[in-house]
C-alpha cells in the first residue's frame, strides 16, 4: 500500500461547518451532503465495544464507566468513576471502617455497600485485609502508609478520613496508586475550638491539677492560684476553621487576639478585629499561644528550642492541632526553665504517648487523649460527612472534599461531561495513529474556546487525554487522581494551548485538537505539514465527533470504532467499502468523506459498531483506489 505524503490544505467537500460530508446508508444524495442513515441510533445507547478478537475489551468498560446512558432521553451523563478509580466492585462495594464512626454515618454506608467495622487492627492485619476492600474509612489512629496502598493491589479506590488532619495518610502514595483521599473538613471544627477553649480556661485556673489534688484528699487553695484571661494577648497560630472559631470565643472572654497564618486573608481577620502578624511578632508578644495549623513538612517542630527562647517568659501554650508541630523535648526544657509556664495538650507526636513521657507527666502540663473532635455532635456530623463523601466517590462523583484530586463543582462537571468523553476518545485515537503505538513523549493539546482562559478548567480534559493516550498501550490505570503522575512516570509531556475564538461562550469548548510530535504515523494522512500527527474533535448535540484528521476535515461520531481510509476521490467508493463491511456483517454507524479537491485525495472516516475481522480489513485494503487505511479501536 502506497503511503501518501501529508496534505497541506483541505478543500471543503460539503456545506457542513467543518467542511466534512456525512454519509447515509440509503445513499441518498442531498445537495452538498451525502447522508448515510445508520442502523443504530445516533445518540449513544450502549457502547458495546469489542477487541479485535471479538471479546469485550477494556474500551467497553471505559465507555460504560465514563458514560451513563440515559436511554429514555438519549442523553449521556458523565459517571466520573472512571476519572478516579476502576469500577471493579460488584453491586455492593466493600467498605472497611478501621476506627469508631458515628452510627448515622455507618447507616449511610450500609445503605450502599458491605461494611466491616474492624477496630484496633495492627498495621500487619490492615495490610493483610485491605485488598478485599474498595474503601477504607479512618480517623487519626490508622496509619495509611504506602505499604497499605501496595497491599491493596489496586482494589482500594477511596480512603475517607473521618476528620480534618490527613497527616496519617501517605498522600503521594495514594496519588500514585490512583486512590482518592477525601476528608470531612467541617463537622468537627466547633468541637475542636471548644476543646481549645476548655484547655485554655482550665489551664489558666489549674482545674485538672486541683481536681487531682482534691481527689488525693488535699485542699490546696494557695497552690492553685490561676491567671486571668481578660486583657491578655492570645496568639492564634493558624487562622483557619478551628483557629478562627477559637479567636471568636477568646474575644468573648475579653482577650486581645492576634493571629499568624501565612495564607489567611487579612480582611477575614480584620472583620473579626484580629490582627494578622508575623510568626515572630505572634510568639514574642503573646501571653497565650494556641496552635491550629496542620502538620506539614514546614510546620513540623516549628516550636523548638529556638522559637521557645523568643517567647515571653511565662507564656502558656495550647495545642489541639497536631503533636508534631512541637518538639516535645524542647517543650519539656522550656517548661523546666519557666519560659513556658504551662501547656495544655490534646495531641502528641506519638499517640498514645509512652507512659513515661516527661511531657505528659509534667506538673505544669494538662493533657487530654486527642479529644478535640470527640463530642457526640461532631462525631455524628463527621460520620455523615465522610460516609456521603465516600459513597459519592464510589459512585463516581467528583468529591468536594477531595484532598488529592481537583475539586470540580457539579455544574462545571455536567457542562464538561461530553468534552471529557471526547478528550479521552481523541487520546485513544491519536495514540493508535502512532506507528508502533508506544514512545509518545510530547503531546500538544489545543483547546479552541470562546470562554475566558480562567473560565475553562482543563484539568479534567487533560487527565482524560492522558488516560486515552496511556491506557491503550500500557497496563497502567489512569484516573483524575494519578493522571499527571502516570504521565510523568511514562515521560509523557502534555502541553496545553488555548485559542480564543470569536463565538458564543455558551458552550465551553469549540474543539479539542491533539498533536503528537516527532513520531511516525501508521496513517500518513494524519500527519500535518509541520510533521505532527494531528486530530481534532468537537461535540455535536452532546455527542463527540472526530472532525479533522491531519489536514482533512471529516465528521464521524465517536460512538463505535473508526476506520480511516485514504483513497483517490472517485464515485462509488462509499458503496464499495460499505458493501465489504456489510458482507462481513460489520454494522456501519456513520460515514464521512473529507477531500482536498474533487477527484483528488480523500479521506473516508467510517464509524463501525463491531471490530472488523482481519479478512474484512484485508478486503478493504485490496480495493485498488484505497491508498492507506487504519482501524482505530475506541
Ligand X SMILES: O=C(O)[C@H](O)COP(=O)(O)O
Ligand Y SMILES: NC(=O)c1ccc[n+]([C@@H]2O[C@H](COP(=O)([O-])OP(=O)(O)OC[C@H]3O[C@@H](n4cnc5c(N)ncnc54)[C@H](O)[C@@H]3O)[C@@H](O)[C@H]2O)c1
Q: Which is nearer to ligand X, 5 or 186 (CB)?
A: 186
Cell of 344: 495544655
Q: Are 564 and 603 in contact (CB under 8 A)?
A: yes
DSSP bridge partners of 234: 257, 288
Q: Which residue's CB comes closest to ligand X?
A: 163
492 binds, among ligand X, ligand Y, none (CB under 5 to 8 A by kind): none
237 binds, among ligand X, ligand Y, none (CB under 5 to 8 A by kind): ligand Y
Contact call for residue 93 and ligand X (CB under 6 A): no
Using a CB cutoff of 8 Å and minimum separation of 24, what contacts does 140-146 make?
A: 140/165, 140/168, 140/351, 140/370, 141/98, 141/99, 141/168, 141/351, 142/98, 142/99, 142/168, 143/168, 144/168, 144/169, 144/170, 144/174, 145/170, 145/173, 146/170, 146/173
Q: How far is the CB of 346 from ligand X (least distance, A)?
A: 8
322 is catalytic: yes
Q: Which is nearer to ligand Y, 325 or 433 (CB)?
A: 325
Q: Which is nearer to ligand Y, 286 or 509 (CB)?
A: 286
Number of neighbours of residue 490 by Cβ within 10 angstroms: 19
The C-alpha cell 462495594 sits at: 93
Q: What is the DSSP string of 420-478?
A: HHHHHHHHHHHHHTBTTS----EEEEEEEESS-GGG---HHHHHHHHHHHHGGGSS---
**Angstrom distance (rounded) from CA 587 to CA 576:** 14
Q: Which of 7, 139, 157, 538 contacts ligand X by CB under 6 A?
A: 139
Ranges within 366-385 binding ligand X (CB under 6 A): 370, 372-374
242 binds, among ligand X, ligand Y, none (CB under 5 to 8 A by kind): ligand Y
Q: Which of 139, 195, 322, 566 is catalytic?
A: 322
Q: How far is the CB of 302 from ligand X (least distance, A)?
A: 18
Q: How far is the CB of 451 from ligand X (least distance, A)?
A: 38
Give the distance between the most distant pair of CA atoms in the chain: 109
Q: Which is nearer to ligand X, 381 or 537 (CB)?
A: 381
Q: How far is the CB of 296 from ligand Y (least distance, A)?
A: 6
**Angstrom distance (rounded) from CA 430 to CA 428:** 6
- Helix runs in 490-603, H state only: 573-583
Angle at 616 between CA 610 and CA 620, to 5 degrees: 115
Q: How far is the CB of 181 from ligand Y (least distance, A)?
A: 14
Contact call for residue 560 and ligand X (CB under 6 A): no
Contact call for residue 460 and ligand X (CB under 6 A): no
Q: How far is the CB of 350 from ligand Y (least distance, A)?
A: 15
292 binds, among ligand Y, ligand X, none (CB under 5 to 8 A by kind): ligand Y
Q: Which is nearer to ligand Y, 129 or 268 (CB)?
A: 268
SS3 of 261, please? Answer: coil
Q: Are 605 and 588 in contact (CB under 8 A)?
A: no
Q: Are 184 and 386 in contact (CB under 8 A)?
A: yes
162 binds, among ligand X, ligand Y, none (CB under 5 to 8 A by kind): ligand X
Q: CA 247 → CA 264, 272, 286, 361, 372, distances in Å?
A: 14, 8, 13, 29, 16
Q: How far is the CB of 370 from ligand X (least distance, A)?
A: 6
Contact call for residue 428 and ligand X (CB under 6 A): no
Contact call for residue 140 and ligand X (CB under 6 A): yes
DSSP bridge partners of 515: 444, 534
Q: How far is the CB of 100 from ligand Y (least distance, A)?
A: 13
Q: Which is nearer to ligand X, 226 or 294 (CB)?
A: 294
Distance of CA 561 to the CA centre of its chain: 28
**Residues making contact with ligand Y (CB under 6 A):** 164-165, 185, 188-189, 192, 237-243, 260-264, 292-295, 298-299, 320-322, 346-347, 370, 372-373
Q: CA 261 → CA 97, 183, 187, 306, 430, distances in Å?
A: 34, 22, 22, 19, 47
Q: CA 323 → CA 72, 82, 194, 292, distances in Å?
A: 55, 38, 18, 11
63 binds, among ligand X, ligand Y, none (CB under 5 to 8 A by kind): none
Q: Which is nearer to ligand X, 235 or 295 (CB)?
A: 295
Q: Which of 64, 81, 188, 515 contacts ligand X by CB under 6 A?
A: 188
143 binds, among ligand Y, ligand X, none (CB under 5 to 8 A by kind): none
Instruction: Give the closest residue to 389 by CA, choosing from 184, 602, 616.
Output: 184
Q: Which residue's CB comes closest to ligand Y?
A: 240
139 binds, among ligand Y, ligand X, none (CB under 5 to 8 A by kind): ligand X
263 binds, among ligand Y, ligand X, none (CB under 5 to 8 A by kind): ligand Y
CA atoms within 13 A on the CB side of 173: 19
Q: Which is nearer to ligand Y, 47 or 184 (CB)?
A: 184
SS3 of 132, please? Answer: helix
Q: How far is the CB of 458 from ligand Y (least distance, A)?
A: 27
Q: Which is nearer to ligand X, 19 or 196 (CB)?
A: 196
What are the catalytic residues? 322, 351, 370
Site residues for ligand X per CB under 6 A: 139-141, 162-165, 188, 370, 372-374
Amino acid at each position: 500500500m502506497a503511503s501518501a505524503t501529508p496534505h497541506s490544505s483541505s478543500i471543503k467537500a460539503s456545506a457542513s461547518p467543518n467542511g466534512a460530508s456525512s454519509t447515509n446508508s440509503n445513499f441518498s444524495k442531498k445537495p452538498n451532503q451525502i447522508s448515510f442513515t445508520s442502523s443504530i441510533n445516533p445518540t449513544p445507547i450502549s457502547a458495546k465495544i469489542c477487541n479485535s478478537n471479538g471479546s469485550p475489551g477494556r474500551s467497553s468498560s471505559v465507555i460504560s464507566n465514563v458514560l451513563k446512558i440515559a436511554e429514555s432521553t438519549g442523553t449521556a451523563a458523565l459517571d466520573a468513576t472512571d476519572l478516579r478509580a476502576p469500577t471493579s466492585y460488584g453491586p455492593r462495594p466493600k467498605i472497611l471502617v478501621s476506627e469508631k464512626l458515628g452510627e448515622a454515618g455507618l447507616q449511610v454506608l450500609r445503605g450502599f455497600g458491605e461494611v466491616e467495622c474492624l477496630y484496633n487492627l495492627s498495621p500487619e492485619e490492615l495490610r493483610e485485609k485491605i485488598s478485599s476492600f474498595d474503601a477504607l474509612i479512618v480517623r487519626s489512629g490508622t496509619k495509611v502508609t504506602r505499604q497499605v496502598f501496595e497491599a491493596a493491589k489496586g482494589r482500594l479506590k477511596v480512603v475517607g478520613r473521618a476528620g480534618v488532619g490527613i497527616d496519617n495518610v501517605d498522600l503521594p502514595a495514594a496519588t500514585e496508586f490512583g486512590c482518592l483521599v477525601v476528608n470531612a473538613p467541617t463537622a468537627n471544627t466547633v468541637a475542636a475550638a471548644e476543646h481549645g477553649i476548655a484547655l485554655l480556661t482550665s489551664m489558666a485556673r489549674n482545674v485538672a491539677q486541683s481536681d487531682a489534688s482534691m481527689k488525693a484528699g488535699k485542699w490546696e487553695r494557695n497552690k492553685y492560684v490561676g491567671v486571668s484571661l481578660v486583657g491578655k494577648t492570645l496568639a492564634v497560630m493558624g487562622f483557619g476553621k478551628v483557629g478562627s472559631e477559637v479567636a471568636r470565643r477568646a474575644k468573648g472572654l475579653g482577650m486581645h487576639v492576634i493571629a499568624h497564618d501565612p495564607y489567611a486573608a487579612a480582611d477575614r481577620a480584620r472583620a473579626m478585629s484580629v490582627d494578622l502578624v508575623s510568626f515572630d511578632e505572634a510568639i514574642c508578644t503573646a501571653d497565650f499561644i494556641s496552635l491550629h495549623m496542620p502538620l506539614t513538612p514546614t510546620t513540623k517542630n516549628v516550636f523548638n528550642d529556638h522559637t521557645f527562647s523568643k517567647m515571653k517568659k511565662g507564656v502558656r501554650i495550647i495545642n489541639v492541632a497536631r503533636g508534631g508541630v512541637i518538639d516535645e523535648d524542647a517543650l519539656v526544657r522550656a517548661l523546666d526553665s519557666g519560659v513556658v509556664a504551662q501547656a495544655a495538650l490534646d495531641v502528641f507526636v506519638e499517640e498514645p504517648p509512652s507512659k513515661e513521657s516527661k511531657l505528659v507527666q509534667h506538673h505544669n502540663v494538662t493533657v487530654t487523649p486527642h479529644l478535640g473532635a470527640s463530642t457526640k455532635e461532631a462525631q455524628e456530623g463527621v460520620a455523615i460527612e465522610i460516609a456521603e463523601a465516600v459513597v459519592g466517590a464510589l459512585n463516581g462523583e467528583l468529591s468536594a472534599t477531595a484532598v488529592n484530586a481537583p475539586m470540580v463543582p457539579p455544574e462545571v462537571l455536567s457542562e464538561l461531561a461530553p468534552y471529557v468523553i471526547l478528550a479521552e476518545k481523541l487520546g485513544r485515537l491519536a495514540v493508535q495513529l502512532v506507528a508502533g503505538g508506544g514512545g509518545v513523549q510530547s503531546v500538544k493539546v489545543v483547546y479552541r474556546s470562546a470562554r475566558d482562559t480562567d473560565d475553562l478548567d482543563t484539568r479534567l480534559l487533560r487527565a482524560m487525554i492522558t488516560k486515552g493516550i496511556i491506557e491503550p498501550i500500557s497496563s497502567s490505570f489512569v484516573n483524575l487522581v494519578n493522571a499527571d503522575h502516570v504521565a510523568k512516570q511514562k515521560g509523557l509531556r502534555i502541553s496545553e494551548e488555548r485559542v480564543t475564538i470569536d463565538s458564543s461562550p455558551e458552550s465551553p469548548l469549540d474543539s479539542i485538537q491533539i498533536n503528537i510530535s516527532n513520531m511516525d504515523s501508521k496513517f500518513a494522512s494524519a500527519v500535518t505539514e509541520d510533521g505532527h500527527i494531528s486530530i481534532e474533535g468537537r461535540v455535536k448535540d452532546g455527542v463527540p465527533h472526530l472532525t479533522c484528521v491531519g489536514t482533512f476535515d471529516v465528521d464521524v461520531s465517536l460512538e463505535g470504532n473508526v476506520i480511516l481510509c485514504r483513497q483517490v476521490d472517485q464515485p462509488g467508493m462509499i458503496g464499495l467499502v460499505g458493501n465489504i463491511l456489510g458482507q462481513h456483517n460489520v454494522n456501519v454507524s456513520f460515514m464521512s468523506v473529507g477531500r482536498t479537491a474533487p477527484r483528488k485525495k480523500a479521506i473516508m472516516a467510517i464509524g463501525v459498531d463491531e471490530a472488523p475481522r482481519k479478512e474484512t480489513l484485508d478486503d478493504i485494503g485490496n480495493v485498488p483506489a484505497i491508498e492507506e487505511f487504519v482501524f482505530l479501536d475506541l
